[in-house]
Amino acid sequence: MRITVVGSGYVGLVAGACLADLGHEVVVVDNDERKVAALNAGEVPIHEKFLPELLSRHRGQRLKFSGNLPEAVRQSMAVFVAVGTPPTESGDADLSYVESVAREIASAVVDYNVIIEKSTVPVYTSEWVRKIILRNGADPAAFDVVSNPEFLREGTAVTDFLYPDRIVIGCDNDRSAEVMRNIYEPLINGSYSRRRDAIPQPDGTATPARLIRTSTKSAEIIKHASNAFLAMKISFINAVACVCESVGANVNEIREGVGADSRIGSRFLNPGIGYGGSCFPKDVLAFHAVARECGYDFRLLEEVTRINDEQQWRFLRKVREALWTLRGKRLGVLGLAFKGGTDDIRESPALSIVQSLVNEGCHVTAYDPAAMARVQEVTGSTVQFVDSPSEAAKGSDALLILTDWEEFSGLDLDRLRDELRYPIVIDGRNLYKPEVMAEHGLTYYSVGRATVQAADSSAEAVTNQVDAA
């Protein structure tokens, strides 16, 4: 099938590359000429596992990049709209980009097209997209509007697309539903996973994919409700972690006991410094705004956001607990992206904490496997960037772990202890067992677990200073 994808951001670029790998002829359209030129030149603008491989495999053949939306629409049966929907000051999704695309699509609809919402949008958006296209002169029989929410996690977006938990299609008639089924047929019948050149299937995923057909309104709500629920799980376990710290319990043990219940599950019950990224903060706000417009005060979502924001403050309090005063302190930082596996720093709690420390007069030396270039554009010379965790730790008063990159969970602890000025590690992601850190002579602060003290006299001296204060 010939397919147009509008928008070359995280969702659009991943969707375009994966649709090409399923065998479709895909044109990714963007109005940023520089991005189009860079993509055509072979550049990969985001850090995403397997994406460079797919772009290299299909660029110039099944996958092309263009700035001409009307021409791409006229040559396609399906048009995925994957443009940004940033939050406004009130928390509502800004749908101006979606509206602009809908107006431009209207002039190009000739034969039958299925216009597919791939951006995260509030309920009723599909109805408005249809109205805008009709107002701009399109034949009502020449198109349908479908909602097909994405459930992609940054860092695993390619495998999430190709080996999904479910494919949700919000279709209000059989004709558009049949087009959607044809698009995803290699995933629905399992034939993609059997291909010799298929992207490797992750452990724990099931094939073939489950197809769920709903109304367009239900599909739109499914996306917001899913992200809000996952954000709630994170805030819930962080709230539990606060109780654990007060009574001396271990949140990891709580997590294991609670997560073993099949009705709850352990995924997203990971205590830390809070969620971030381009989805959860925005989607929780947007869902709350949608509910408010519909006459329901969804106060639970306010609490989810409050707990999440408070986690950064609580982590900064741990840093003060470990070091007493912060001005003039040298701190090594591991992790700047909002999560491991991506270079995305949007709404990153790690970056927010770093900026707070800099504002308090700390000298921050930071390392991140992928996000340093993006952070440097934001922080300039206020943060020193280095090439390894070892360099970040060297001479620092403490080491802070802020992002759950896999490589940060396997550090040489003896070397780390020797490189730090004081053997203090403050872990916002609970990557280590406290008893192991103590055995290696490290004072270790984590989330929802008791602090363990190193036997090292310099660390005890710092701790005694804090206790005296």
Domain end call among 243, 276, 307: 307
Q: Which of 181, 214, 247 is the last residue of a domain?
A: 214
DSSP state of 200: P
Report the 10 Å Cβ neighbour count for 428: 28
For residue 208 the two structure tokens come to 């073939």
Query: How do strand 113-117 and strand 424-427 relate by DSSP bridges?
Result: unpaired
What is residue 459's predicted lDDT score, i.e. its pLDDT?
A: 45
Same domain, 295 and 327: no
Residue-number span of the structural domain to which 59 is assigned: 2-214
* Catalytic member of 18, 171, 244, 279: 279
Shared-domain flag, residues 208 and 231: no
Are 132 and 256 found together in one domain? no
CATH number at residue 381: 3.40.50.720
- % residues pLDDT > 70 (the chain): 97
Domain shared by 421 and 441, yes or no:
yes
Mark whether 292 and 329 lie in a shared domain.
no
pLDDT digits (tens, 9 = 90+) for 333-353: 999 999 999 999 999 999 999
Q: Which residues pair with 443 in a beta bridge?
A: 424
Considering the domain architecture, whether residues 286 and 322 belong to the same structural domain is answered as: no
Total domains in the chain come to: 3
For residue 385, what are the β-bridge partners? 366
CB of 441 closer than 8 Å to CB of 422 = no
pLDDT tens by residue, the chain, 469 residues? 999 999 999 999 999 999 999 999 999 999 999 999 999 999 999 999 999 999 999 999 999 999 999 999 999 999 999 999 888 887 888 899 999 999 999 999 988 999 999 988 989 999 999 999 999 999 999 999 999 999 999 999 999 999 999 999 999 999 999 999 999 999 999 999 999 999 999 998 999 999 999 999 999 999 999 999 999 999 999 999 999 999 999 999 999 999 999 999 999 999 999 999 988 999 999 999 999 999 999 999 999 999 999 999 999 999 999 999 999 999 999 999 999 999 999 999 999 999 999 999 999 999 999 999 999 999 989 999 999 999 999 999 999 999 999 999 999 999 999 999 999 999 999 999 999 999 999 999 999 999 999 865 444 444 444 454 4
CA–CA separation, 15 vs 20, rounded Å?
A: 8
Question: What pLDDT does residue 454 have?
Answer: 81
For residue 366, the number of C-alpha atoms closer than 13 Å in the C-beta half-sphere is 30
Under DSSP, the state recorded for 294 is T
Residue 77's CB: how many other CB atoms inside 10 A? 17
Same domain membership, residue 428 and residue 331: yes
Percent of residues, the chain, with pLDDT higher than 90:
91
Nearest residue to 85 via CA among 124, 122, 114: 122
- Burial letters for 19-52: b for 16+ Cβ neighbours within 10 Å, e otherwise? bbbbebbbbbbbbeeebbeebeeeebebbbebbb
171 and 141 within one domain = yes
Per-residue pLDDT tens digits for 69-127: 999 999 999 999 999 988 888 788 889 999 999 999 999 998 899 999 998 898 999 99
| Shared-domain flag, residues 59 and 82 | yes
Determine the pLDDT at residue 110. Answer: 85
Q: Is 18 a catalytic residue?
A: no
List the one residue out of 151, 73, 67, 82 whose CA is nearest residue 113: 73
Domain match, 19 and 151 both: yes
CA 251/CA 449 separation, integer angstroms: 6
Look at residue 92 in the predicted model and tell me its pLDDT. 84
- Residue 80: φ, ψ to 5°: -90, 125
pLDDT of residue 91: 80
